[in-house]
Structure 1
Amino acid sequence: MLEMTNLGWPVTPYGSTAQIVKKPRRLLTGIAALWADDDGSPVLMSAAAVFLDVHRTKPVTVTDGTVNFGYRALAAEGPDDTERLLSALDVLFVQARRDAPAITWHAAQDDLHVMEALRPGRAGVTGLSEAWAGRSHPEKGIARCVDTAKDVGPDGLLAKTADAAGLPFGPWLRPLQDQEHTQQLYELLLKHPDDPTSKALATQGAAIGALAQALVTAFIGGRHLDHLTWDTPPNAFEAVRDAACDEFPDLFHPSLPA
């Protein structure tokens, strides 16, 4: 499993358990998962979470060109990595459900349904599935859940919802949201398992697709909840590039067109 992050504490993003005095952070959390198909069986190709600092009582203004966010992006390096990705996500879900002010996800129940089928009875997936089902009447102490497909809309691909919100992905990020593209990356991984160039392109491509989706979902859901606001819509491509270019060297380079 490939993991890329700009967090100092990626496993405990809401506060390190090593801190003597824990200063709580209000981190709006956007989540995304991209799937491939392996002879009829679902394979989790990549997943990502983004974390944006928000205020308790007023919206935070997002300024285009200076978007600061933390992220953790995971990608399968082979067909057997689904279990490892799900284990990492399960730990995150337990924390996010309890510590995040809000969780945003596009068509989350579809993803959670598959995750539950693959890992029945796991605390993180089960707990977040229950929170998602009851998100219209959230429990006290549980993160607000916003499904950008169902609660904001229009339903369908996130790119369509983003266009309606005035947050287009742009020509480079948009194709990464297509399931067919994720499938092609997975097949590239299977055909060339020992080729480092093919592996880097497949894993980084899948991870950046999930990362872009998680960020745009956080923007849309955060604005829907009045956690975020802006005068000029943030540019998703520039935000992802500026935050992640060091971790994705095979995708971001000086000659890459915006």
Structure 2
Amino acid sequence: MRRITNLAWPDTPYGATDHLVQRKKRLLTGLALLWADSNGGPVLMGAAAVLVPVHRTKTTYLAASPLHIGYLALLAEHEDDTRPLVKALDELLVQARRDAPALAWHSAADDQHVLHTVRHGGAGVTGITAAWKARKTPPKGIARCVDTALDIGDDALLVDAARHHGLPLDAALIPHQDQSHVQQRYQVMTAAHGDPAALRAVTGSIAAGALAQAYTVALLGGRHLHLLDWVEPPTAYASLERAAWDELPPGLFRTTAAT
């Protein structure tokens, strides 16, 4: 399993009581999972979270310039990595359900169903599934949840939801999110036999797709909950270039580093 992040405290992104230098952070969190099919069942190729700072009491207005984001991507390097990937995701979900102001996810019930099918999840998966079912009347102390496929419209595909709500679609990132591309990356991964260069190409592509999705749902969900707004939204392409240009596929960005 490969993990990429720009978080200073990736194991406790929202803050933790055992680190006195940390303060609790209000981080709106967008989530995305990318799956492939194998003869043995579903394989989690990647899971990503994009974290956007928001204000406690008022809407945060975004400029068109690249958005400063925190991110975490968990990526498969072997077809048996679903178990450790789900375990790491589960640990994030335990914290996010309690400490994030809001969680955004597209067609979350589909991903949650598969997570329960693979049976590797724990308290995080169980808790977020319950929170999702109760998202219209969230219990006190639990993150607000928004499903960008159901709660802001009826778009089955995230790219359609983004178009309908005025978010720019980044042509360079869209192919990395396509299900047929994810399946093809799975086939490359299984044929790589541990070759580092081949695996880095696979994980970089999956990270690009998952992070672009997580970024998009974070903005859509944040706007729906009045945590975020904009006149001209920052693009996923520019924001990911700023945050993760050195981890994503070579040649994806027009420049070597964001300025």
TM-score w.r.t. length of structure 1: 0.94
Give the Cα–Cα distance (whole angstroms) in 2 for the partners of residues 172 and 153 of structure 1.
25
Amino acid at match of 2:94: V
Structure 2 residue aligned with 1:68: 68
Two-structure CA RMSD over aligned residues (Å): 1.7
Q: Distance in 1 between matches of 2:21 and 2:172?
A: 43
Aligned residues: 256
Residues 95-244 of structure 1 mapped to structure 2, 5 A cutoff: 95-119=95-119, 122-244=122-244
- Aligned residue number for residue 94 of structure 1: 94
Report the alpha carbon displacement of residue 248 of structure 1 after superposing the two structures with TM.
Answer: 2.5
Task: In structure 2, give the amino acid aligned to 1:85.
Answer: L
Taking the aligned partners of 2:196 and 2:80, their CA distance within structure 1 comes to 18
Q: Please say which of residues 40-49 and 118-127 is displaced more in the overlay.
A: 118-127
Matched residues in 1 for 2:227 and 2:197: separation?
40
The one-character-per-residue Cα deviations of 1:93-147 (angstroms, maximum 9, x if unpaired) are 1100000010000001110111112226711100000000111111011000000
Q: Counterpart of 2:246?
A: 246
SS of the counterpart of 2:97? helix
CA distance in 2, matches of 1:141, 1:12: 18
Gaps in structure 2 of 5+ consecutive residues: none
Instruction: Give the structure 1 partner of residue 56 of structure 2.
Output: 56
Q: Quick one: percent identity of the two aligned structures?
A: 51
- State the 1:253 CA deviation: 5.2
Query: Shift of residue 231 of structure 1?
Result: 1.2
Compared CA separation, residues 66 and 172, structure 1 to 2 (3 A): closer
* Contact preservation (8 Å) 2:66, 2:238: no
Query: TM-score with structure 2 length normalisation?
Result: 0.94
Does the 8 Å CA contact 1:26/1:53 hold for their aligned counterparts?
yes
Q: Which runs of 5+ in 1 are unaligned?
A: none
Q: For 1:22-53, what per-residue CA distance to the aligned partner results, in whole angstroms no more than 9, with x for missing partners?
A: 52111101100000001261000000001111
Which residue is equivalent to 1:38? 38
Which stretch of the first structure deviates more once superposed, 119-128 or 102-111? 119-128
* Greater CA drift, 117-126 or 35-44: 117-126
1:254 is displaced (CA, Å) by: 4.5
CA distance in 1, matches of 2:2, 2:217: 22
Deviations 1:155-210 (A, max 9, x none): 21111100111113221111222111100111111122233332111111011111
Displacement of 1:216 in angstroms is 0.5
Hey, what does 2:26 align to over in structure 1? 26
Say if 1:97 and 1:143, in contact at 8 Å, map to a contact too. Answer: yes
Q: Which moved more, 1:108-117 or 1:19-28?
A: 19-28
* 3-state SS of paired residue (1:50): strand
Q: What is the CA–CA distance in structure 1 between the aligned matches of 2:40 and 2:164, rounded to whole Å?
A: 33
SS at match of 1:126: helix
Using the alignment, how far apart are the partners of 2:132 and 2:77 within structure 1?
30
